Amino acid sequence: MAKWGMVIDLDKCVGCQACVVSCKEENNVPHGSPEEQRSRREIYWHKMIAATKGKYPYVRTELIPMPCMHCEHPPCVTVCPAKATFQRDDGIVVQYYRRCIGCKYCMVACPYGARSFNYKAQEPKAYQRQDEPPDRNSWAPWPFPVRTQGVVEKCTFCFHRIDQGLKEGKKIGTEVVPACVEACPSHARTFGDLDDPQSPVAQLLASRASFRLREELATRPKVIYLSR
């Protein structure tokens, strides 16, 4: 079984946040209003942080894109009481909106702040898709989730693309990648099977020193960063 992971080369990342925006576009994640941004209720499936070390004039800033880490030992899966979040065989941590009761325990337990709560129902026109016929354009099945309010959501590694790609027999990691990997202009992101020694991710990991975030918490995230 594949073990899907992502490698992000921080040396190539320019901090343009195309990954953040393309994730919102692909998954119809709403852009928060200024009010929501101010009160920290905006939904971010993928965020980017800037960490600064040192004092002027010897300052260093790291720009770190953070999707859901799809950890091997996910703390969110441990604490979800309704089994709404679970780990698939291929390593993707899935959020099943139908079971989610909105208790927000997973949001408290996630060490990476990857989860967002869906506070209010989106306007119907926010879900209008232009590429679907009119009677289906707000009721399409996945890959167009019309998420309801009151549930927690997070990055899915675009598993809809992966599953569709596997069905069509395409190569995951080269022909089919998540939206953020596809959108990166400097090709800083690579997606693939961490178990496959021939995959580009495995080769990248073997080439340079890599680190994961908050490794001391032993969550074994599968988004691995190559340092600058």
Residue 169 CB, nearest distance to another protein (Å)?
A: 34
Of the pair 135, 168, the CB lying nearest another protein is at 135
Task: Give 81 or 185: the residue with its C-beta nearer to another protein.
Answer: 81
Give me the least distance between CB of 18 and another protein, in Å please: 18
Ordered alpha helix ranges (H), the chain: 18-27, 34-38, 75-79, 105-109, 159-167, 179-183, 200-207
**Using CA atoms in the order 178, 182, 183, 184, what is the torsion angle rounded to 10 degrees?**
110
Q: Which residues pair with 7 in a beta bridge?
A: 190, 224
> Closest approach of Cβ 101 to another protein, in Å?
5
Please report, for residues 40, 44, 81, 99, 130, the alpha-carbon distance to residue 117 in angstroms, rounded to integers and kept in the order given: 11, 10, 16, 14, 26
- 123 vs 168, beta carbon nearer another protein: 123
Alpha carbons within 13 A on the beta-carbon side of 2? 18
Round to whole Å and give the CA distance between 119 and 129. 22
Q: What is the contact surface with another protein in residues (CB under 8 A)?
A: 36-37, 39-44, 47, 49-53, 60-62, 64, 66, 75, 77-83, 99-105, 107-113, 115-121, 124, 139, 148-152, 213-214, 216-217
Residues contacting residue 4 through CB under 8 Å, at least 6 positions apart: 70, 90, 91, 92, 157, 162, 172, 191, 192, 193, 194, 222
Nearer to another protein, 23 or 172 (CB): 23
Q: Which is nearer to another protein, 78 or 186 (CB)?
A: 78
**At closest approach, how far in Å is the CB of 20 from another protein?**
12
Q: How far is the CB of 147 from another protein (least distance, A)?
A: 11
Q: Which residue's CB is nearer to another protein, number 22 or number 116?
A: 116
Q: Least Å distance between CB 211 and another protein?
A: 10
Please give the Cα distance from 3 to 92 (Å, whole number). Answer: 8
